[in-house]
Amino acid sequence: MDLDPAILKLNNMTTNRYKYFRWTPRTARITFMYVAVVPALFGIMAYSTEGKWNLRAKRRGDVIAEF
């Protein structure tokens, strides 16, 4: 059974991807979004909701909001 040449080419490309990577404005923008913007948004959300909900020892019908 022969292997599909397209699958072999894809495998080779993903194995050697680091050799052909170039910094372009698009890749720089995407990297900046994942390194700085996304963690900052999660941090802002976590900081703004800190202490507002208490999920420990709650029963059915209890309110989880503490604010």
Residue 14 in any domain: the answer is no
Can you give the pLDDT at residue 17?
Answer: 93
Task: Tell me the residue range of the domain where 43 lies.
Answer: 23-67
Residue 30 in any domain: the answer is yes
Confidence of residue 63 (pLDDT cuts 50, 70, 90): confident
CA nearest to 65, candidates 56, 46, 54: 54
Residue 1 in any domain: the answer is no
Residue 46 in any domain: the answer is yes
* Rounded-to-10 torsion of CA 39, 43, 45, 50: 150
Residue 15 in any domain: the answer is no
Residue 28 in any domain: the answer is yes
Residue 18 in any domain: the answer is no
Number of domains in the chain: 1
Average pLDDT over residues 25-35: 97
DSSP 20: S
Residue 47 in any domain: the answer is yes
